[in-house]
Amino acid sequence: MLNRGSGRGKTWALRSDGGALAPATIVPRMMRLYHREHAGRPIRVAWMLEELGEPYEITMMTREEGKGEEHRARHPLGRVPVLEDEDGFVFESAAICLHLADLHPDAALAPAPGTHERALLYQWTIFAPAELEPPLIEAAVHAQRDPERAASARRRFDEAAGAVSSALDGSDYLVGGRFTVADVLVGSTLAFTERIGFADELPANLRDYLARLAQRPARQRALERTASG
């Protein structure tokens, strides 16, 4: 028999065998990452989980499963990533990564709340999906069928990437001179340029930044675990 409770730090399962109550074992519930074949964003969450050493499982869905009713109960638009933790489901990759950093303050992947560095962490973590990603995707999607629209999106992406390049001037990482959640979000977004063939045209310090991030063992493990062929 398995009795469950819930709440961060409270999830537990008490096992008993054959009616006789065995010594109670606390079994923390493992986090679960919902991923979909060929999806590019779930790597961000896996990367954070690997950086933090947090054990997790992955549910890999097909495109159809991602749009099915079961997954829409986790994400109303049927998208990934979704993280399931002890308290329920969370979607939006930036929100999930910030939440994970908060659960592991000792890992120091986010500066203390209320500090200017924390504000900069929010700034760059949100800049990635708000300013970098939309023109990058627009430029890629319209490259063949609407080159004019693609070129205009590309100019907007270049300007946003230029802002990251300036912020990195003389620093290896975006916030406080050390690796944080902001690098996971900005780095994984800039890494889309490798998939769509823009990477060679990035400013030199962004190419170095991507190479530096690519060397992180946690990122390499995350790539292996989220690979969908």
Ligand X SMILES: N[C@@H](CCC(=O)N[C@@H](CS)C(=O)NCC(=O)O)C(=O)O
| Interface residue list for ligand X (CB under 6 A) | 36, 39-41, 78-81, 92-93, 129
In the complex, residue closest to ligand X by CB: 79
Residue 201 to residue 198: CA distance in whole angstroms: 6
Nearer to ligand X, 39 or 150 (CB): 39
The CB-of-94 to ligand X minimum distance in angstroms stands at 6
The CB-of-184 to ligand X minimum distance in angstroms stands at 12
How many other CB atoms are there within 10 angstroms of residue 46's CB atom? 22
Nearer to ligand X, 97 or 176 (CB): 97
Nearer to ligand X, 62 or 171 (CB): 62
Nearer to ligand X, 116 or 195 (CB): 195
**Judging by beta carbons within 10 Å of its beta carbon (0-12, 13-18, 19+), is residue 224 exposed, middle or buried?**
exposed
The CB-of-186 to ligand X minimum distance in angstroms stands at 13
The CB-of-129 to ligand X minimum distance in angstroms stands at 5
Nearer to ligand X, 176 or 186 (CB): 186
The CB-of-35 to ligand X minimum distance in angstroms stands at 9
The CB-of-18 to ligand X minimum distance in angstroms stands at 45
Nearer to ligand X, 80 or 109 (CB): 80
